[in-house]
Amino acid sequence: MTAVIFNVPVSVRTVLELMEASTGHPYYAAELEKLTGYTKPTVLGVLNRIHEAGFVQMEREFVAEDTKRAPRNYFTLTPHGVAALRLQDPST
């Protein structure tokens, strides 16, 4: 099954292209909100959508109990996501 990733909302394309520009960097939702300017519900919706499609993997951060914040979920592109981004021409 071939996924057409450029026939999606601009928010999905923006997040995927940002992640593709730095494939070695794991992103978390608040970071993507800041970088894209999208709202939290928009970013979380995008991450859910591309995670379900297999374009990104999620890894939950381990945080010690005495830490004053909740653990983050980090997202990175999967090989499937990288291949889909690189094989699709955004001008088509």
pTM assigned to the model? 0.78
The answer to whether position 24 is within a domain reads: yes
Number of domains observed in the structure of the chain? 1
Question: Taking 70 as the threshold, does the pLDDT of residue 15 lie above it?
Answer: yes
The answer to whether position 60 is within a domain reads: yes
Quick one: DSSP state of residue 78? -
- Model confidence over 18-74: pLDDT tens digits? 998 887 899 999 999 999 999 999 999 999 999 998 999 999 999 888 888 889 999
Question: Taking 50 as the threshold, does the pLDDT of residue 92 lie above it?
Answer: no
Domain range enclosing 33:
10-87
The answer to whether position 46 is within a domain reads: yes
The answer to whether position 4 is within a domain reads: no
The answer to whether position 92 is within a domain reads: no
The answer to whether position 1 is within a domain reads: no
The answer to whether position 32 is within a domain reads: yes
Tokens of 86: 């690189």
- For the domain that residue 33 is a member of, what is the CATH number? 1.10.10.10
The answer to whether position 50 is within a domain reads: yes
Question: Cβ distance 60 to 73 under 8 Å?
Answer: yes
Tokens of 78: 């999967």
